[in-house]
């Protein structure tokens, strides 16, 4: 079976890779957007925290014998806790300053994390086995679907929509949105805004670590896996705008799919296609697809 | 305030004169290649500081200008056989053109988005350089000859090369110094301090930002092209985002928005890297990260900024 002269199996598998990448873009840009909303900081270490999530899972499996399913919960908790410490000891001191200092601080942290792991593990990747339950695949007729890859998409999307639900539909989410609009007023109403901020940063970072654990069996676990990804995610954030949670999710997945298609039809451009789209969006709609200006 | 300003104004020519003399004799006391590296990165950081320190625009993509100018210069000199001064000129013009493209796109957004856009665009440049055959991919452009300046002076001599780099630095530094002390520089500062007010005063803010961006990119390109001649190499590290971060660090450490800060910062970072490269290996990245964090948390005025504050406090007493 062929579609546009391309075998459907190739098209299908590249679209699947695109969907997986897109799910990672979605989780990471979601985390960035939540953190930016309340802290007014772009978390440059987001990529490093994603990488550390994968490494915590890898270390947990190889040194402590902790399996994938536990790691899926354990790694986000560890990295989220680290995020809480970072927010309490460092980021907190920068809120009164220009936003740019937050970017620079987290950039410095990203260098530290990346450097430490590079010193310990080198730049070659470590492989993480696919958990037993999710090994193998199914033949869908037009393509072969490895079960783990299907699981990544389902799990990532579930987490994305759960986050959307928490923020848009629950009381906690209402506090969060109110805090984004007017922190002084929310504080005056008796809600502990500093605690909310700490929690938000921890949660955003934990999302990144969760994505890292999901990614571990798909990609090699390497110290550099986060830094290249995070720059693409920045472009995703510029394209989508950080105003809307659903916007972040849709933009992330859409761009992942477009990247996958590019890999089929014009592979040379697949590394830059997201940036090209960013340029077009900036020219046509500078505020971003879902931005409020 | 006026008193202190005039005190600085009177001290400046003396300070510059002294530094100029030091620059003239330095290659006889210190390893010239090291000095050339410091001057190239110093010019790079000064150009970057023009944008961040005076116009308040954080570009996280300046490596693209340094690197692409280096490649253009390398290709002009090595593959087309042009003389080094034409190579530097070509690299500068290429960086200016690229800066115009970046600038037009990035100034459509402000603040944090500006930084992310410049970073993303420079990553695009990185991938293009990586994949394009003419740039040598992962090997970079190797074996770029230094050639003969104006077809006459042989630059393979390190001392001759040093004086060319020194001259390029001084010209670049003078252009930046003039720019920040001109009405143009005053308008940039006005935009940095209060953009809506600058708009309401009738200034075409976008035009001034773009001009500052192009000027900064062009001079970053001058630094990159010169660096290619010094090391006879244009490599991927010059286009990588780490380099964009490094120039931010140099500027921040030396003193954001000070005239000499970026040069001091560049000298400090280059010395550190040279010293540390042998002893700690891959920990260099970690140490750079730690300096970054310390600068942001405790040392935001930078070395020169702190010194100026110290002198001012002494002046008040």
Q: What is the 3-state secondary structure (H, E, C) of B4-27?
A: HHHHHHHHHHHHHHHHHHHHHHHH
Which two structure tokens, joined as six digits, stand for B317? 């007493």
Flag if A90 and B284 touch (Cβ within 8 Å): no
Interface-testing mutation among A40, A115, A118, with chain B (most B C-beta atoms within 10 A): A115
Which residues in chain A have Cβ-Cβ distances shorter than 8 Å to B108? Answer: 282-283, 286
Which residues in chain A have Cβ-Cβ distances shorter than 8 Å to B285? Answer: 111-112, 114-115, 118
Q: How distant is the Cα of A271 from the closest Cα of chain B, in angstroms?
A: 7
Q: How distant is the Cα of A275 from the closest Cα of chain B, in angstroms?
A: 6
Phi, psi of B148 (to 5 degrees): -115, 125
Q: Going by C-beta distance under 8 Å and a sequence separation of 6 or more, which residues neighbour residue B45?
A: B247, B250, B251, B254, B262, B263, B265, B266
Q: Is B21 a residue whose pLDDT tops 90? A: no
Q: Going by C-beta distance under 8 Å and a sequence separation of 6 or more, which residues neighbour residue A104?
A: B248, B252, B292, B295, B296
Q: How distant is the Cα of B288 from the closest Cα of chain A, in angstroms?
A: 7
Q: How distant is the Cα of A193 from the closest Cα of chain B, in angstroms?
A: 22
Q: Is B10 a residue whose pLDDT tops 80? A: no
Flag if B288 and A111 touch (Cβ within 8 Å): yes
pLDDT value of position A271? 83
Residue with tokens 């004169």: B17
Rounded to whole angstroms, the Cα distance separating B251 from A250 reads: 38
Flag if A42 and B112 touch (Cβ within 8 Å): yes
Query: What is the pTM for the complete model shown?
Result: 0.89
**Nearest alpha carbon to residue B205 among B53, B48, B55, B47:** B55
Alpha-carbon B275 to chain mean position? 22
Is position A242 within any domain? Answer: no
Using an 8 Å CB-CB cutoff, list residues of chain B that contact chain A.
58, 60, 105, 108-109, 111-113, 115-117, 119-121, 123-124, 127-128, 131, 241, 245, 248, 252, 281-293, 295-297, 300
Return the H-helix or E-strand segment holding A99.
helix A99-121
Which residues in chain B have Cβ-Cβ distances shorter than 8 Å to A97? Answer: 300
**Nearest alpha carbon to residue A125 among A135, A117, A116:** A117
Interface A-B: count of C-beta contacts within 8 A: 116
Flag if B297 and A114 touch (Cβ within 8 Å): no
Which residues in chain B have Cβ-Cβ distances shorter than 8 Å to A233? Answer: none
Rounded to whole angstroms, the Cα distance separating A245 from B3 reads: 54
Q: Is B3 a residue whose pLDDT tops 60? A: no
User: Closest partner residue to A234 among B105, B119, B283, by Cβ?
Assistant: B119
Flag if B286 and A237 touch (Cβ within 8 Å): no
B216-264: pLDDT as tens digits: 999 999 999 999 999 988 888 899 988 999 999 999 999 888 889 999 9
pLDDT in tens, chain A (293 residues): 666 777 777 888 888 889 999 999 999 999 998 898 888 888 999 999 999 999 999 999 988 888 889 999 999 999 999 999 999 999 888 888 888 889 999 999 999 999 999 888 888 888 888 888 888 878 777 777 888 888 999 999 999 999 999 988 998 888 888 888 888 888 888 888 889 899 999 999 999 999 999 999 988 899 988 888 998 898 898 888 877 888 889 999 999 999 999 988 888 888 889 888 888 888 888 888 887 64
User: Closest partner residue to A100 among B58, B121, B285, by Cβ?
Assistant: B58
**Nearest alpha carbon to residue A106 among B115, B289, B255:** B289
Which two structure tokens, joined as six digits, stand for A26? 């979605």
Burial string for A210-225 (b: 16+ CB within 10 Å, else e) reads: bbbbbbbbbbebbbbb
Which two structure tokens, joined as six digits, stand for A257? 């799919």
B160-171: pLDDT as tens digits: 889 999 999 999
User: Closest partner residue to B286 among A99, A101, A115, by Cβ?
Assistant: A115
Distances in Å between the alpha carbon of A104 and those of B102, B142, B291, B295? 21, 33, 11, 9
Is position A239 within any domain? Answer: no
Is the Cβ–Cβ distance between B36 and B162 less than 8 Å?
yes
- pLDDT, mean of residues B86-93: 93
A239-284: pLDDT as tens digits: 888 778 888 899 999 999 999 999 888 888 888 898 888 888 888 8
Q: Across all residues in chain B, what is the average pLDDT?
A: 87
Interface-testing mutation among B109, B112, B119, with chain A (most A C-beta atoms within 10 A): B112
Q: How do A2-3 and A6-7 pair as beta strands?
A: antiparallel
pLDDT value of position B1? 42
Which residues in chain B have Cβ-Cβ distances shorter than 8 Å to A231? Answer: 119-120, 123, 241
Flag if B297 and A109 touch (Cβ within 8 Å): no
Distances in Å between the alpha carbon of A275 and those of A183, A221, B192? 34, 25, 28
Rounded to whole angstroms, the Cα distance separating B245 from A180 reads: 29
Please name the residue of chain A whose CA is at the shortest distance from the CA of residue B193.
Answer: A98
Is position A284 within any domain? Answer: no
Domain carrying residue A182: 26-230
B24-59: pLDDT as tens digits: 888 888 888 899 999 999 999 999 999 998 888 899
pLDDT value of position B244? 92
pLDDT level of residue B68 (50, 70, 90 thresholds): very high
pLDDT value of position B317? 60
User: Closest partner residue to B252 among A94, A104, A286, by Cβ?
Assistant: A104
**Least confident window among A33-42, B5-14, B71-80, B98-107:** B5-14
User: Closest partner residue to B124 among A238, A272, A282, by Cβ?
Assistant: A272
Q: Going by C-beta distance under 8 Å and a sequence separation of 6 or more, which residues neighbour residue A27?
A: A156, A159, A160, A207, A208, A210, A211, A252
Flag if B281 and A119 touch (Cβ within 8 Å): yes
Interface-testing mutation among A32, A93, A104, A262, with chain B (most B C-beta atoms within 10 A): A104
Domain count, chain A: 1
User: Closest partner residue to A238 among B113, B128, B285, by Cβ?
Assistant: B113
Is the Cβ–Cβ distance between B275 and B76 less than 8 Å?
no
Share of chain B above pLDDT 70, in %: 97
Which residues in chain A have Cβ-Cβ distances shorter than 8 Å to B58? Answer: 100, 103
Flag if A93 and B283 touch (Cβ within 8 Å): no
Rg for chain A, CA atoms, rounded: 19
Is position A169 within any domain? Answer: yes
Flag if A42 and B116 touch (Cβ within 8 Å): yes
User: Closest partner residue to A282 among B108, B241, B289, by Cβ?
Assistant: B108
Burial string for A105-141 (b: 16+ CB within 10 Å, else e) reads: bbbbbbbbbbbbbbbebeeebbebebbeebeeeeeee
Q: Is B201 a residue whose pLDDT tops 70? A: yes
Flag if A276 and B245 touch (Cβ within 8 Å): no
pLDDT value of position B92? 95
Q: How distant is the Cα of B119 from the closest Cα of chain A, in angstroms?
A: 7
pLDDT value of position A7? 77
């Amino acid at each position: 079976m062929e579609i546009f002269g391309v075998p459907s199996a190739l098209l299908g598998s590249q679209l699947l890779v695109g969907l997986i990448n897109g799910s990672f873009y979605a989780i990471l840009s979601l985390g960035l957007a939540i953190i930016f909303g309340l802290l007014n900081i772009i978390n440059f270490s987001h990529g490093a925290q994603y990488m550390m999530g994968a490494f915590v899972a890898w270390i947990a499996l190889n040194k402590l014998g902790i399996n994938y399913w536990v790691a899926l919960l354990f790694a986000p908790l560890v990295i989220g806790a680290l995020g809480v410490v970072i927010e309490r000891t460092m980021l907190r001191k920068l809120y009164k300053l220009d936003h740019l200092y937050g970017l620079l601080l987290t950039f410095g942290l990203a260098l530290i994390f990346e450097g430490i792991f590079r010193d310990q593990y080198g730049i070659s990747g470590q492989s993480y086995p696919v958990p037993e339950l999710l090994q193998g695949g199914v033949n869908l007729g037009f393509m072969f679907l490895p079960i783990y890859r299907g699981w990544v998409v389902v799990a990532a999307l579930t987490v994305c929509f759960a986050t959307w639900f928490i923020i848009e539909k629950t009381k906690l989410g209402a506090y969060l949105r109110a805090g984004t609009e007017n922190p002084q007023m929310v504080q005056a109403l008796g809600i502990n805004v500093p605690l909310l901020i700490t929690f938000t940063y921890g949660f955003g970072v934990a999302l990144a670590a969760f994505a890292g654990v999901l990614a571990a069996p798909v990609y090699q676990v390497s110290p550099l896996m986060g830094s290249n990804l995070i720059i693409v995610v920045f472009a995703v954030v510029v394209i989508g705008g950080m105003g809307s949670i659903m916007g972040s999710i849709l933009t992330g997945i859409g761009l992942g799919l477009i990247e996958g298609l590019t890999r089929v039809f014009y592979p040379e451009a697949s590394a830059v296609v997201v940036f090209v789209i960013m340029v077009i969006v900036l020219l046509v709609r500078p505020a971003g697809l879902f931005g409020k200006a | 305030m006026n008193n202190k300003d005039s005190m600085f104004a009177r001290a400046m020519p003396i300070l510059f004169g002294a530094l100029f003399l030091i620059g003239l004799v330095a290659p006889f006391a210190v390893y010239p290649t090291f000095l050339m590296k410091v001057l190239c990165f110093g010019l790079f950081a000064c150009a970057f500081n023009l944008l961040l320190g005076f116009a308040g625009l954080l570009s996280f993509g300046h490596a693209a200008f340094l690197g692409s100018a280096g490649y253009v210069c390398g290709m002009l000199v090595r593959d087309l056989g042009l003389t080094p001064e034409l190579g530097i000129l070509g690299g500068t013009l290429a960086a200016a053109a690229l800066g115009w493209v970046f600038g037009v796109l990035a100034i459509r957004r402000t603040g944090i988005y500006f930084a992310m856009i410049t970073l993303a665009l420079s990553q695009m440049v990185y991938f293009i350089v990586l994949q394009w055959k003419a740039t040598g991919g992962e090997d970079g452009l190797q074996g770029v000859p230094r050639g003969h300046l104006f077809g006459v002076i042989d630059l393979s001599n390190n001392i001759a090369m040093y004086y060319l780099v020194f001259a390029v630095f001084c010209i670049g530094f003078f252009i930046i110094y003039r720019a920040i002390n001109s009405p143009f520089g005053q308008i940039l500062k006005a935009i940095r301090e209060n953009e809506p007010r600058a708009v309401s005063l009738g200034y075409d803010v976008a035009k001034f930002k773009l001009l500052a961006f192009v000027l900064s990119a062009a001079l970053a390109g001058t630094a990159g092209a010169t660096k290619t001649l010094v090391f006879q190499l244009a490599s991927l590290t010059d286009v990588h985002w780490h380099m964009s971060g490094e120039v931010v660090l140099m500027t921040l450490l030396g003193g954001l928005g000070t005239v000499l800060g970026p040069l001091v910062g560049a000298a400090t970072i280059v010395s550190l890297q040279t010293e540390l490269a042998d002893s700690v290996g891959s920990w260099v990245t970690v140490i750079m990260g730690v300096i970054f964090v310390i600068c942001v948390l405790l040392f935001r005025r930078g070395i020169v900024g702190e010194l100026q504050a110290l002198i001012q406090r002494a002046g008040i007493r």
